[in-house]
Amino acid sequence: MTEASDRVSRIQQEWRRERPDLDASPQGVIGRLHRLAAHLTHELGTVYERHGLTEGEFDVLAALRRAGAPFERAPSELAHHTMVTTGAMTKRIDRLEKAGLVARRRSETDGRGRVIALTPHGREVIDGAMTEHMDNERSLLDPLSAEQVAELESLLISWLSRFDDQRPSATDALA
């Protein structure tokens, strides 16, 4: 499919016909990013599913793994690192604990606090999932040259910084 005949271009052409007074050019970027995000979300989700995880569970395990030995964080830290509410975090932790991937224990520094830690099985699962996740992300970028990837990353950093400076993002935690 050529650039001039993709779905977004056809939508823009229809808007130019129906509303010539309206500048529909932002759809060229936003519409394509939205469509691309849907495709990427689907492709990334297949890896999580192969490892018996949801995207949210993957995020929790990845946040624990990134913490370094002993691979644990307080639930409030996990909520911050995955940008979800503490209520949503509790549900994720419950599911992961039931699956034997994390364990809860009392904090050694705060008798009322809890700590969530990766179990050995949880570490094995996230290490395998993360390896496949990185391979998958690399293959999703394969259609682009190294120069295009670097340019795209630079553009996204610049664009996202304008949002990140304003408020935290719900997607900060992804991998």
CA quadruple 140, 146, 149, 155: dihedral, nearest 10: 180
Of 50, 69, 40, nearest in space to 152 by CA: 40
Say how far apart CA 72 and CA 116 lie, in whole Å. 5
Q: How far apart are CA 33 and CA 42, in angstroms?
A: 14
What is 29-141's CATH number? Answer: 1.10.10.10
Pairing of strands 72-73, 102-106: unpaired
Question: pLDDT means per 10 residues in the chain (175 residues)?
Answer: 71 94 94 94 96 94 95 90 82 94 85 87 97 97 97 95 67 50
CB 37 within 8 A of CB 105: no
- Domain coordinates in residue numbering, the chain: 29-141
Three-state secondary structure string covering 14-60: HHHHHCCCCCCCHHHHHHHHHHHHHHHHHHHHHHHHHCCCCHHHHHH
What is the predicted pLDDT for the residue at 166?
A: 64
> What's residue 117's pLDDT?
95
